[in-house]
Amino acid sequence: MRPYELILPGITLLPVVGVIVLLLWKNATKRQAAIVGIISESFALVIPIVLLTTLRRDGAVFFSIPWISNLNISFSLSLSWLSITFLITEVVVTLAAMIYSLGEKTGEKNSNYYYALLLLFSLGMSGTTLSDDVFLFYIFWELMLLASVLLIVGWGTGEKRYKASLKYFIITHLGSLMVLVCLIMLYVNFGTASLTELILQAGTLPANMQVFMTIFFIIGFSVKMAIFPMHIWLPDAHTVAPMPVTIILAAAMLSMGAFGVLRFPYSLFSIETMQPFAVWLMIAGLASEVYGALMALAEREIKRIIAYSSVSQMGYILFGLGTLTLRGMQGAIMHVVYHAIVKGLLFMVVGIILEVTRRRNIDEVGGLGNRLPILTVCAAIGVLGISGMPPLGIFNSEWLIFSGGFDSGVSIPLTVMTLIGSLLTLVYALRFFGMIFFGKKNPESLPEKSPRALLVPTIAVTVFLVIEGLLPGALLAWATNGLAELFGGLFL
Amino acid sequence: MSGSFEIVLPIFILIVGAFVVYLLGRLLQLSNRLLAILTIFILVVTLGVLLLQYLNLPEIIQQPEVFFGLEEPGGILYRSSAVGVFILLIGVVIGILITLYSGEYLSRDPRYLVYYPLVLLTFSGLLGMFTSYNLFNLFLLTELTTITASALVAFRFKQQASIRAGFKYLIMSSLGTMTMLLGIYFVYRSTGSMQLVTPLEAPDEFARIGAACFLLGFSLKAGVVPLHTWVPDVYGNAPAAISGLLAGIMSKSMLFIMPVVCLRLGISQAELGAYLMVFACFNMLLGSVRMLGQESLKHFLSYSSIAQTGYLMFALGMGFYYGVDQVYGVGLFLFMVIAVMKCLAFLAAGIYRHYAGTQNIERLRGVSKHMPVIAHILSIAMAGLAGIPLLAGFTGKWLVFSAALLTADVFAVICLIVFMVSSVISLGGYLPMIIKQYQPPTEPGRLFPGCTTPVKVSKWMLYPAEFLAVMTVVIGIYPSPWVNLVSQVMQWMMVTL
């Protein structure tokens, strides 16, 4: 094993060290716990960046040690172009949420457990993107769910959180079970849990089995993506979760479903196997896009508006994946990153609004524009971002997704409908912005100023969103490299 | 009597130990804790002997003539059984833990003097059932297990529910043993013999009816639906340690004695496998659905135990129906992890009962404030039983899934779907139970009135529970040695089956 390969497991193990420190440090203040959490999580960001040179040279970095040797299961990780994009996105989102947490009240009690669980939540996502063993993949996949449920139960708001977290757990676990069936089918058929080996051999499976597994994988991962009609867990979970957890859920965790689609059916099987599903994926994406947008338009509760917007945005990603074209999928991967930034920003804005107004409904707040000018600018950029306005990032990804839709030749009308449907995003985004910042003033909910500790990370994310949108080249290159791993190197 | 005495040495130690414990306790007026220590000593010696037997198993299975007893017609024969040794190894370890636990659990009970001898006799009966190769002797040992276990279930005889549960267990188990007795009649009528050493070469209808009687009897004792009606009352009202022993070891071990007897008396592997798989579906569904509405924690665990019996039957059934040895090994692994987790759950429930004085799930809401460690421990047990990754139950779930998909057969896949449905329904029970422990109480101050600091739990009760919780995590994180262990036992078992 080469020296640089030895640092790869640090992405998963160093946060574990942080978790252990936090669990042992029972008297840690929130600030102390946050420092431990942020330092531990930073390793998960630094290590992939350090490994970038190697990644450019070798195409992938592997690490593997035997684990359950008699079952042919190992602790195998692989950093590839596909995984690094998702990995860095989720780590950055987690770091932003951890910093944002410092400015609000969440986690003031049992801070050590709170930050330990945030680390575990992120570890679940990092492990999911890095696993090169299907057994390990599932463990990280479920860790992500378990940690997020515990965060909602422990630090969420209201009595409703117990029911909401139960609903979230059971529905997403159902999806996970469908994924598990497929993973074990692969394992049983080839006698190995190594994903690298499975990718090489999966094409030899009988056609009907490939079709069955594709259906199960797609439905299973769509539950995590909260694609309509499998989204029912999302609005409640997002509403009751503490804001930093909502940020991670919406900006990072949902896209793990998209990663699953890319990592499994798209990597294991040929494009011919996927072709019959293309149109269905596009229809599901369109339905989710329109439904999410309509619900966001109909909602009164501020957090739920942004939550439904996630359902809509995941629809774009699924649509892009469904096109099965280079551009469509480039757009889908870029949309994951841009959506993470925009959604993170919008939830940060919502967090500040809820904090300063103590109101949850959109018609109870209004006229914040004059009182909170900086927040208004941040919100305006976020709203324009989610609506796909140039030169902000989502414009780039949507451009590619729609181009992919037209390229695919599967269904031009579907692409046109999706394009028209995107107008709904603009409508709910403008309603959200207009009512909160320029709507009728509610004298009881007019704040003096935004809390600085919350505003600083919000401004930072806003700046990042603008820069990222102006410089899409690097992200496009990463997405293109990642796509080279799919369909046996079809897009190489 | 002749042959290798080592085969029956553990049974001998347990029976003699039971009398020694009783007599010493009676004559010297030993305290509950001293008796518990004495019982643990006897169980540790038994464990040592069983370990030696386990290490010698490779040699013993090569020599089928190694036995103890009378070889002449009508004689009683005892032989080493790989599965029996394995199950008793787990059983005795659990026995040591529940005895340690009882050192505090019975501190308020003046009748502890009979408790420990009964535990030892129950184990001796169970071990005897695995080693006996004579039908009538098997019947007697089954009765010994039944009677001692009934007495343990009704141990708190001043509580009406305990007496009712004890009677119910006695009556239902006796019904099972009576059915076995009827089976002996049919087998004897067919073959003129009651030996079980070699499988019947050409079993006639009578022998097969006899085998079916045994199948029914063992099913009743294992709690196979629809013969499960005694399970909730018995596990729900017995002392927690005994519920753990019954649910984790005793009832489920019947599923491993069942094939030894039935396959030798003319039931084919495919028939036994199909029976187990079909009824496993009923167990899985009924257990997981009925656990949802329970108010009492122990009744909740009892119904979940019915579902777990179903999981075990499913794994064993696949092993027999498809003739895949490895799948039978999955059953052994599942038995081991269920024993650990189920016993852990009952021990934690017993700690709540002991200190908080209630089993009511709603009243236990917010109990984590007073007993945080126990809340964590029960959560580990529940999460393990729900098959959450990195806990022992997940490896079991993975192996069952693998086994079912390995068969690539519609029958197994249908059962697997039932298994999945059942595990999702079960989640709807386990998760709220975990969450309720951490929720604010509905009636603040009702649990532990006036107490603001966490309750100090006796180490006698805490250590066994902590040990089992650690095992649940260790087996989950590093299952390799345990999988190796069951693979080895499974290979030895297949030679002797």
Residues of B in contact with A169 (CB under 8 A): 427, 431
Tell me what percent of the residues of chain A surpass a pLDDT of 70: 98
Hey, which residues does B134 pair with through a beta bridge?
B195
Contacts of A480 (CB under 8 A, 6+ apart): A326, A330, A491
pLDDT in tens, A228-281: 999 999 999 999 999 999 999 999 999 999 999 999 999 999 999 999 999 999
With cut-offs at 50, 70 and 90, classify the pLDDT of residue B448.
confident
Nearest to A184 among B405, B439, B487 (CB): B405
Mutate one of A152, A168, A188, A213 to test the B interface: name it (highest B CB count within 10 A). Answer: A188
How far is residue A65's CA from residue A61's CA, in Å, rounded to a whole number? 14
- In tens, the pLDDT along A299-345 reads 999 999 999 999 999 999 999 999 999 999 999 999 999 999 999 99
Query: How confident is the model over B222-246, as a mean pLDDT?
Result: 90
pLDDT given for residue B95 in this prediction: 93
Quote the minimal CA–CA distance from B80 to chain A in Å. Answer: 27
Mean pLDDT across the stretch B148-176?
86
Mean pLDDT of A51-58: 89
- The first and second tokens of residue A209, run together, are 């089995």
DSSP A60: E
- How many C-beta neighbours within 10 Å does residue A102 have? 19
B438 shares contact with chain A (CB less than 8 Å):
yes
User: Is residue A209 within 8 angstroms of chain B, CB to CB?
Assistant: no
CB contact under 8 A, B424 and A70: no
pLDDT at B198: 75
| B497 in Cβ contact with B263 (< 8 Å) | yes
What is the domain partition of chain B in residue ranges? 280-497
Q: List, as one string, the DSSP characters of B226-293.
A: TS-THHHHHHHHS-HHHHHHIIIIIHHHHHHHHHHHHHHTT--HHHHHHHHHHHHHHHHHHHHHHGGG
Alpha-carbon distances, residue A185 vs A26, A180, A190, B237, B344 (angstroms): 43, 8, 9, 42, 32
pLDDT at position B1? 59
pLDDT of residue A80: 93
pLDDT category of residue A492 using cuts at 50, 70 and 90: low
Closest chain B residue to A187, measured at CA: B402
For residue B337, the model assigns a pLDDT of 95
Q: Does residue B74 surpass a pLDDT of 80?
A: no
Amino acid at B266: G
Q: B323-336, pLDDT tens digit by residue?
A: 887 788 889 999 99
A347/chain B closest Cα distance in angstroms: 27
How many other C-beta atoms are found inside a 10 Å radius of the C-beta of residue B306?
Answer: 27
Mean pLDDT calculated for residue range B9-20: 93
Residue B69 DSSP code: E
Chain A CA closest to residue B422: A174
Residue numbers of B between 379 and 418 with CB closer than 8 Å to A: 388-390, 394, 398, 401-402, 405-406
pLDDT in tens, A61-98: 999 999 888 888 999 999 999 999 999 999 999 999 99
3-state helix, strand, coil in chain A (%, to 5): 80, 5, 15
CB A484 within 8 A of CB A491: yes
- What was the pLDDT predicted at A181? 92
In DSSP terms, B258 is beta-bridged to none
Judged by DSSP in three states, B72 sits in coil
For chain B, give the mean pLDDT: 88
Across residues B16-35, what is the average pLDDT? 91
- Chain B residues close to A173, C-beta within 8 Å: 424, 427
**Helix, strand, coil percent values for chain B (each to nearest 5):** 75, 0, 20
Contact A341, A250 (CB under 8 A): no
- The answer to whether residue B2 scores a pLDDT higher than 70 is no
Tokens in use for B382? 């529940």
Report whether pLDDT(B3) > 70.
Answer: no
A1 part of contact set with chain B, CB < 8 Å: no
Q: What is the pLDDT of residue B155?
A: 83
**Domain locations in chain A?**
274-492
Q: Give the gap in angstroms from C-alpha B372 to the nearest C-alpha of chain A.
A: 14
Q: For position B385, what pLDDT does the model report?
A: 93
**Residue A485 predicted with pLDDT over 90:** no
Mutation to test the A interface, candidates B394, B398, B423, B478, most A Cβ within 10 Å: B398
The pLDDT confidence band at residue A446, using thresholds 50, 70 and 90, is low
DSSP calls for A354-371:
HHHH---BGGG---HHHH
Q: Is the dihedral of CA A329, A330, A336, A338 positive or negative?
A: negative
Query: Residues A385-433: pLDDT tens digits?
Result: 999 888 888 999 999 999 999 887 777 889 999 899 889 999 999 999 9
- Based on its alpha-carbon atoms, the radius of gyration of chain B, rounded to whole angstroms, reads 22
